Amino acid sequence: MQAESAKLPGRSISRARELITRYRIEVLCTLLLTVMGLNFLSVLPRKSITVDDIVHIPAGFYHLHRYFRINFEQPPLVKMLAAFPLLFTNTEMPSMDQSMGSLDPHRGFTQNTLAQEFWRANNSRYEELTFWSRVPMIAVALLLGALIFIFARQLFGARAALLAVALYTLEPTVLANGRVVQTDLISSVAYLLLSIATYVYLVTPKIRSAVYLGLTVGLFSYIRHKCGLPLSPRDAGAVQHISWFEGRRDGEYGSGPKARSGGL
């Protein structure tokens, strides 16, 4: 009995080593994204908020309380996501002027004034609010990295996916904007989700994949007002070419008319 108990730790270590060896690419990708996330968290107390954060964080807090007249030119999703942790704090919400949201030329000034009143009312908990409101943006940056790995592995293999994630975690623009409450990074998530949905639909044109494609298209209206055409003809052609190549490689399309049309 004692001999069996002595063997258990050795078996556990051997099993863990086997799993790490088998999924070493996934482990390395997880480590890269973890280091990236810890880097973001470590700089939050030392980095002040940007001009976007000044307005977007209060706007998101007002949106969560069903007041949408502040910063209404930007879709509310990313702002509400950033302000969601503030619901669990003692954040104060100054009353909103009834003129807010009017179409007069001074609306932008009154919007900034309301944002300043929000920060003035919460001056004693400024560091707490600016920290927790930017944590969801870090989660969005990590989600984008995970999606890059999943899609790149599907198209080009695990090693290429690891290289893509490594380049992503070292990209200066991502490192600078991954903690900022704005629509840029989450728009990249939406574009990538749309590319994945289009790819899945072209490879397997079923009802479920069509619904997923429609949901990703609808996601754009809640993310950014300047997204425009979700997928340009050039991008659609690229995704169609990839799906055609995948079908030919797997022998799904063969050499008939379906292969030449890319499954559309």
Q: What's the confidence (pLDDT) of residue 95?
A: 82
- The residues, any chain, with a CB within 8 Å of residue 65's CB and separated by 6 or more, are 93
Q: What's the confidence (pLDDT) of residue 10?
A: 61
Q: What's the confidence (pLDDT) of residue 257?
A: 37
* Tokens at 11, concatenated: 């078996």
In angstroms, the CA 219 to CA 213 distance is: 10
**Cα–Cα–Cα angle for 227, 228, 232, nearest 5°?**
105
Q: What's the confidence (pLDDT) of residue 219?
A: 81
Q: What's the confidence (pLDDT) of residue 19?
A: 65
Residue by residue, pLDDT tens for the chain (264 residues) are 445 555 556 666 677 666 666 778 899 999 999 999 999 999 999 988 998 899 999 999 999 998 888 888 788 889 999 999 999 998 999 887 666 655 455 554 567 788 888 999 999 999 999 999 999 999 999 999 999 999 999 999 999 999 999 999 999 999 998 999 988 899 899 889 988 998 999 888 889 989 988 888 888 777 766 555 555 554 555 555 555 545 555 554 444 334 433 333
Cα–Cα distances (Å) from 255 to 82, 130, 144, 202, in that order, read 50, 58, 36, 17
In angstroms, the CA 63 to CA 60 distance is: 5
* Tokens at 90, concatenated: 């003692």
* Residue 209, number of CB atoms within 10 A of its CB: 17
| 3-state secondary structure (DSSP) of residue 224 | coil
- The residues, any chain, with a CB within 8 Å of residue 32's CB and separated by 6 or more, are 145, 165, 166, 169
Domain ranges of the chain: 51-133, 183-264
Tell me, what amino acid is at 11? R
Q: What's the confidence (pLDDT) of residue 23?
A: 77
* Tokens at 94, concatenated: 């100054």
| Alpha-helical segments (H) within the chain | 2-22, 24-43, 51-64, 77-83, 107-121, 126-132, 135-156, 158-169, 172-177, 184-203, 207-219, 233-250, 257-261
